[in-house]
Structure 1
Amino acid sequence: MMMNSRVGGGGGGGGGGGRVRVSALPLLAVVVFAVLATVAWVGDSVSVTGGPNPDATPIPLFQAYTNALPEDLLDMLMEDALLYDKMAKSGGNLKFGKLPTTWYPLVGDDYRPPRFASEVAISFLRDLDFPGDLLHEHGVIGAEWWYQVRDRDENIGFHFDKDEAVASLEMRLSHPVLSTVTYLSNTGGPTLIFNQSSIDGNDNQPTIPELGALSFPARNKHINFHGNLLHGVVGSLTNAPQGVTQRRVTFLVNWWSVKAQPPNCQPLSRDQIRQFEEISRGAVALIDQKAFHSAHPSALVDVTSPDEAAQISDDEYFTVTLTPEERTHIWWNHSLPSDGTYQIRWKGDALLGGVSVLDLYEGPSVRRVFSTPKPKLFLFYDENKHNLWELEKLFLPAVKPHADAFLMFTAERKKTKDAMNTLGIVDGDLPTVAIHDTTDDNKAVMTGIFSRARVEDFIARFRKQHSSEQQQEQTQDDQEEKEEEKEEDKYQDE
């Protein structure tokens, strides 16, 4: 087995490495055992279903349309939005702080023709999102719908659309076939969608996205995307100048092949239906315009990033939190029009992420350290002495090629002191990088000056040595198995 060691990386200037310390310190798991017992987090793998039917006619990952709905209908939808927002908030939050959504059946005995503006809009959008026989091919039976009324620069956290009741009560992920956003105002942050889906409720595929869509609000624009994709709203990229008071208003419709469950998604009450009917008189008559109204497909503008971090200035990155503990830095060309819809390909250093924040005293990161068998890769630093972003610009490009091989963390000294002690790291070593394979308590710590080249070399050395040890162990296991077979054959012969 590999010794618990300190390894100096090659390349990138500064002192030599290679000094080795054998550690007699206890396994990190022992240090944080008490913490693990109190972490409220579901780390077990869960079943994941939904998204488009893989056996049906394919639907593009992202699509956009302008002039999605008749103009007369938009004003009515804005009234519906304000009423819905009031109703949802007055009803109180559900489990985990969720707000309710509404179910509108499209098939079966529960189907009713549209009665007010929101349901009329669903009728238009159904034909837009599922032309021809696509609705039946993908087994869509109903629409989950709701509104969001947000401030001009408000974030909406990154998430997967899912049946919230099933997620809360059964702890599994059930996704819609398609998710959609219809913008009712020109104000607010853009919707950012990644080509990432959850494979087990914990890990995403791909680990670090390379393709995404960015859609800025524009009145009467409609977008749809696969219902199992990670997405959110980036308030820092708002297209509204400071001082603008107009709010970001959107109509959300998710198309389902299974019925979304109560209490999170439920039909409207009779009184609620009456209120919607009163404020959208004349909406039903607009259905007659379906034969004449023409939405316009809007090709996403392809944008490709530069390759190297040296070609990207700091102000071209924006930072989002993809999970409660994962910071991701993303390149964007801020000179592009702030009402467009873009498909972005991030190359090289243009998207830097896949690294979570380790906190041994609270949060789910502790459980992740031990629930995942991958080796753990840590960037240790002191926030009072080091600028994390300056370190990340060196660390994240170096570790990106290894994102699938490690579970990666940034580790601030005050929140990870026990881990530092376990790995034999002292304050004077910071900043540094360490690896801990918790399956066999194999540890390594980088020494010397912190640089991208040193981090790259340190990881390459560890992986090469670790691979060699695994091969040796496999060879030994094979030899032992052969010896056992010989003994068994000998016993049978006797």
Structure 2
Amino acid sequence: MSESVPADEANNNSNKDFVIRDGFPALRKPDGSHWIEDDEPIPRQPFLAFEHALNFSNIDDWRHDCETVFTARDKEENVSYSAGVTYFMPSVMKPRCAIEAFVLELFHRHVTDKTLYLPEQSGAEWWTLVMDESEENEKNDDNEDEDDDEQGDEVGMHFDADYGLEEQAPNLLVHPRLATVTYLSDFGAPTVVFNKKSPPPKDIDSLGGEIRTAWLSQPSVGKHIAFDGRLLHGAPATFFPAMQGHHSSELEEPPTKKVKSEPANKKRYTLLVNIWLNHCPLDAEPLDEDIIQQLKVPFAEGKSPSFSWNGSFDATLLLQKVALTASTEDPAGEEETVICGRRVSILYGATMDRMHEVSASGRLLELELGEGAVSIQVGEAVLEESDEENDESDSDNHAGK
């Protein structure tokens, strides 16, 4: 969690190798001392979006590789999503496949000043998500009474953090400098990022309250978004669903290359990369060699010819602003998650119809949230696993990542 470090303590490297500053591992000056200036260069802004950042020359192979990596993640029985398995690409490691080459290049595109970090203690944590909307829709057609929030492209609101470290030091969340999403399809629920940072470790209750700004990004092949790694985010499809009829033939084409047509099954493919400086998340390891052998995207001599960055990759894109206000009669509902051992409710005060209307109004939005439109309540502590088994009223299913 966020924890400021006094200047004299941050400068003392003789007895402290790992310093947390405002929820981040501290940056460093060229002489190796910790970065203690008020304005840090990373992240530059809370949220950045690049509509046509990338071209993929063989998108079907990229999707195959994303699916191969995704299905290799360990899953627990009766849990919709994986237990949170992620991979790590050290900044000093040579890539062994196209995905690793992409991840490493993305790291260096976002972190251009090499004096801010120790290369051997920095890198990119990454994973893939593949959500099959068509399969879930078939299930829902056969089960009309199924809960509305059981959707195939739903990702609960959460913070990205070193959860392995949190297991060893409860209530301590250390965050990546940047969280990023790269889309490899035009389907599925949008990514929603709330302008809400994780609270100080000794004051979880301060997480509660109003949220006044959010950003919404609908999937689009080659789009890339990046945001402050301390921000609350997810893909809450129940409240912000996918745009209907959203496919590449209806979108503005990238400036240098057209995108291939989408497959019949409408899957949401994303490649998630978190930028870590001066800290490596405890439980993330390099991709296994046996998985690499199953990948299709061509790769040779440490480079992949299968992706390229467009000249439009800059931070000047203006977002469409949309207002969202609360309803006194028919609020949309709430979403539950668990943060630092506490049950947290995200309350959506606008009507469900209005939220769906907003979600369909643009591919890239900045939401101006009125009072009560979106707020957070911090509840009671979550019971230990042994106690939860005896509590029939507790149906929480927290899925980590």
TM-score of the superposition, structure 2-length normalised? 0.64
Counterparts of 2:244 and 2:83 in 1: how far apart (Å)? 30
- Within the alignment, does 1:84 sit opposite 2:84 as a pair? no
Aligned mate of 2:214, from 198, 212, 215: 212
Amino acid across the alignment from 1:238: P
Q: CA deviation at 1:340?
A: 1.2
* CA distance in 2 between partners of 1:330 and 1:235 (Å): 16
Structure 2 match to 1:462: none
Task: Give the alignment partner of residue 249 of structure 1, picking from 256, 269, 285.
Answer: 269
Report the secondary structure of 1:348's partner residue. Answer: coil
1:238 corresponds to which of 238, 241, 263: 241
Distance in 1 (CA, whole Å) between partners of 2:289 and 2:164 is 23
C-alpha displacement of 1:137? 3.3
CA RMSD of aligned residues (A): 3.8
Secondary structure of 1:342's aligned partner:
strand
Equivalent residues in 2 for 1:363-402 (5 A)?
A: 364=381
3-state secondary structure, aligned to 1:120: helix
Against the structure 1 CA distance between its residues 83 and 57, is the aligned structure 2 distance closer, same or farther, given a 3 Å change threshold? same
Partners of 2:234 and 2:176 in 1: CA distance: 16
Q: Name the structure 2 match of 1:427.
A: none
Displacement of 1:265 after TM fit? 0.8
Say yes or no: does 1:102 pair with 2:62. Answer: no
Pairwise CA distance, 1:169: 2.7
1:365–1:147 CA distance, 2 compared to 1 (3 A): closer
String of CA shifts for 1:251-295, please: whole Å, max 9, x gaps.
000000134344x3112233233333xx122475546976x7424
Distance 1:240 1:352, change over 3 A: closer
Q: 2:177 matched to which residue of 1?
A: 177
Taking the aligned partners of 2:371 and 2:65, their CA distance within structure 1 comes to 44
Cα distance between partner residues in 1 of 2:25 and 2:67:
30
**Distance (whole Å) between structure 2 residues aligned to residue 73 and residue 136 of structure 1:** 36
SS of the residue corresponding to residue 293 of structure 2 reads: helix
Bigger shift: residues 203-212 or 340-349: 203-212
Which residue of 2 is the match for residue 164 of structure 1? 163
- Return the match for 1:340 from 337, 355, 363: 363
Percent of paired sites with the same residue: 24
Which protein has the bigger helix share? 1
CA distance in structure 2 between the partners assigned to 1:222 and 1:101 by the alignment: 19
1:155 aligns with 154
Deviations 1:321-376 (A, max 9, x none): 35554141154471565551112221234x2433356xxxxx62799xxxxxxxxx
Q: Secondary structure in 1 aligned to 2:193? A: strand
Q: Secondary structure at the match of 2:57?
A: helix
Per-residue deviation at 1:198?
2.0
- SS of residue matched to 1:265: coil
What are the ranges of 5 or more consecutive residues in structure 2 without an aligned counterpart?
1-19, 28-37, 134-150, 246-263, 385-392, 394-401
Equivalent residue number for residue 376 of structure 2: 354
Deviations 1:17-71 (A, max 9, x none): xxxxxxxxxxxxxxxxxxxxxxxxxxxxx99731785543251100011222232
- Partner in structure 1 of residue 47 of structure 2: 62
Give the TM-score taking structure 1 as reference length: 0.53
**Secondary structure of 1:166's aligned partner:** helix
The residue identity in structure 2 corresponding to 1:207 is G
Identify if the C-alpha distance between structure 1 residues 197 and 160 changes in structure 2 by more than 3 Å, giving closer, same or farther. same
Change in Cα spacing, 1:330 to 1:119, as seen in structure 2 (3 Å) is farther
1:214–1:343 CA contact under 8 A, matched in 2: yes
Do the aligned partners of residues 191 and 288 (structure 1) sit closer, same or farther apart at CA in structure 2, a change above 3 Å counting? Answer: closer
Quote the Cα distance in structure 2 between the aligned partners of 1:176 and 1:93: 29
Alignment check: 8 A CA contact 1:194 1:212 kept: yes
C-alpha deviations, 1:224-254, integer Å up to 9, x for none?
Answer: 1011111111112322559x84121110000
CA spacing shift, 1:337–1:309, aligned 2, 3 Å: closer
Residues 187 and 238 in structure 1, CA contact (< 8 A), matched pair in contact too: no
2:297 is the alignment partner of 1:280: yes
Contact 1:327 1:353 in 2 (8 A): yes
Amino acid at match of 1:234: P
Distance in 2 (alpha carbons) for counterparts of 1:293 and 1:229: 27
Amino acid at match of 1:266: E
SS at the partner of 2:231? Answer: coil
